[in-house]
Amino acid sequence: MIAKPLLKAAVSWIAIAAFAAACATPPGTEGSASAEAAQAYVEAAELELAERSEYEARIAWIYNTNINYDSEWLLQRSDAEATEARVRLASGAGRFANTELPADTRRKIDLLRLSLVLPAPQTEGAADQLSEITTRLASTYSTGRIDYQGREVTLDDLETLMGTERNPARLQEMWTEWHAVATPMRGDYARMVEIANQGARDLGFEDVGQMWLSNYDMPANEMEAEVERLWGQLQPFYEQLHCYTRTRLNAHYGDAVQQRTGPIRADILGNMWAQDWSTLMPLVRPRGGRATYDTTQLLTRADYTPVTMTETAERFYTSLGMAELPDTFWERSLLTRPRDRDVVCHASAWNLDSREDIRVKQCIQVNAEHFQTIHHELGHNFYQRAYMDQPYLYQNGAHDGFHEAIGDFIALNITPQYLVEIGLLRQNQVPPASADTILLLEQALGKISFLPFALTVDQWRWQVFDGRVTPENYNAAWWQLRERYQGIAPPSARDETMFDPGAKYHIANNVPYLRYFLSYVLQFQFYEAACQQAGWEGPLHRCTVYNNREVGERFNRMLEMGASQPWPDALEAFTGTRQMDGGSMVRYFQPLMSWMEEQNEGQTCGW
C-alpha cells in the first residue's frame, strides 16, 4: 500500500496570496475561466502543494510510527488543514471544468478536482470535524487488542494465528473478538459519510463513491461497467476454487463446522477477512500431492531477518537496472514492531519529500507472506523515485491500480528459479513439471481468492455513499455482499449493534479498495508482457525476469511517466495494449482451472 497524505509540506505564503488573488474572481465572471487563468491557477496550486507536502508527510509518519495523544493531535490538525486546502483547490479548479484547455492543463485541472479521498464542505469547522473523526477511526483500529488464551494479542499476531490454528472454536473466538474492536466506529463512520458526501456535492459530484469512480480517465458509470467486465472474465475461476476448497474443508472439519454446500464459514479460511486462503494449503493439497517447498521454512533456515528480507527484495529491482535505495531508507524505515509504543503496523510505502526520502513501514515477520509483501512495498518506492522529476500533480501512478500492481508484478517472479538464483533453494529442489498443479493452487489460494473480496469492500462503500445502504443496515448489507461475491458467512451471529466492515484497515482508514482489484488484473498483464519480452518459453507461472536489464529499461520508462498521461498510454508503453484485461490471469491459471473442473465433477458448486 502506498501512503501519501492529502497534502504534504510547509506553506508558501507568497504562493497562497497569488492563489487567493486568482480565486478572487467569482465563478461565471467574464474572463475568469480562460485558458490563461487556468494555467496560472494550476501553477500556483502545484507550488502550494509541493511546498506543503513534506511537513504533512512527516506528521503522518510520526503518528503512524508512534500513536499517542500528541501525535493524534498533530495529525488531526494537519489533516484538517490539508482537507481545507484541498477542498479550496478542488473548488477553484471546478471553475474550469467546461473551459477549453490545452491537454496538459486540462489533465492537471481534473487531477486537482479529483484529488481528495474524503472532501469536507467549505463550512467553518467541517474539515476539523472530519479530521477528528477519521483520526479516531484510524486509532481505534491500529491500537486494537484482544484477550486470547490468557494474553493480550495484537492484530499482526492474530493474522499469524489465524493461518496456523485449526481448532474451529478458537478460530471463531479470535475472529469474533477482533471484529468487536470495530463496534465503536459505527456512529463515527455514519457521521463521516454525511460530512464527506456534502463535500463531494459541493465539488459537483453526486456522492463520494461517484467521485472515486471518476478518477480513472473515464466517466464513473463506464468505470463501474469496466469493473464488472473484468470480474466476468475471472468469476468462473473463483467459483471453481470456492467449490474445491469447500469440499476439502468439509472433509477436514465435517458437516458440523463446514457443510458440502452453501457458503464457507469465514473464520476457517486462514485469514481474518477471508481474503487470502494461502495458509490452507496443508488442508487442500491434492491427495497424494507432494509438498513442493515451504518458503517460510527456507527463509528461517537461511537465518533471514526483516532487514535481509528487505535487502533481497531491493536486489530484484536493482537487478533490473534500477539504482539502490538511499542510505536514509535504511536509517529511517520501520521494519519491525517496536515493543515500547503503538504503531500502525499495516504495511505501507512512503515518500516524504517527493525526492529521495523514501521509506517502508512494515512489521515484518519472517514468513512467505511478508517476503512477498516487502517485494510489493518496494515497488511503490521504486515507482515514487522513477517519477520524482515529474511536476507535482503527476507524481503518482497512472491510476491507483498501477501503484499497487508494480510490486505485485515483481512478487509474481518469486518462482522456484528465482529462489535458486538468490540461494534459498537448490537446483535439485526445484519442483518437477508434475508439481505444477500444486504451484498454481498455492498461487490461486492467494490471488483468485482475493478478487471478490476486493470488489465487496468498495461495492459496500459505494452503496453507503449513494444511500442504498443506510446506518440502519450497515452490517446486514456487508454480509449480503460478502455472501453474494465471496460465498462466505460469519461464524457467529451478527446484528446492527456491530460494525464488521470497520474490522478491515482500509475501511477504518478510508483507503479506496478498487485499486487492489485492478492491480490483480494489471500485475498479470505486466508479468506476461515482461516474460514475452524476456523470451520466456516455459509455463508462464515459472517465469522470472530477475536480472533482465532489457525488461527493466522498458518497465522503468512506464514508471517514469507517473500520472502525466492517461493510464492507457502508460499501459501501452510496457505491455503494448491499451485495455485492462483479465486474459493474462486466465492464461496463467488455465491448467489449474481444467484440473479443478475435474476435481469438482459431481459436486454442487455455487452457494
Select which of 314, 506, 528, 541 is catalytic.
506
Select which of 239, 377, 442, 483 is catalytic.
377
223 residue type, one letter: M
Q: Is 377 a catalytic residue?
A: yes
Give the C-alpha separation, 396 to 120, whole Å: 23
491 grid coordinates: 461464524
The answer to whether residues 11 and 52 touch, using CB atoms and an 8 Å cutoff, is: yes
73 residue type, one letter: W
Place of cell 484440473: 595
19 grid coordinates: 492563489
Give the C-alpha separation, 219 to 543, whole Å: 37
- CA atoms 274, 211, 571, 396: torsion sign: negative
The answer to whether residues 80 and 56 touch, using CB atoms and an 8 Å cutoff, is: no
What are the residues facing 3 on neighbouring strands?
350
What are the residues facing 361 on neighbouring strands?
334, 348
570 grid coordinates: 502508460
Q: For 299-447, where are the E strands, in sequence order?
A: 348-351, 358-361
- Find the helix or strand (DSSP H, E) in which 148 lies: strand 146-148
Q: Is 506 a catalytic residue?
A: yes
- Inter-CA distances, 455 with 371, 380, 412, 422, 491, Å: 25, 22, 21, 36, 21
Write out the catalytic residue numbers.
377, 506
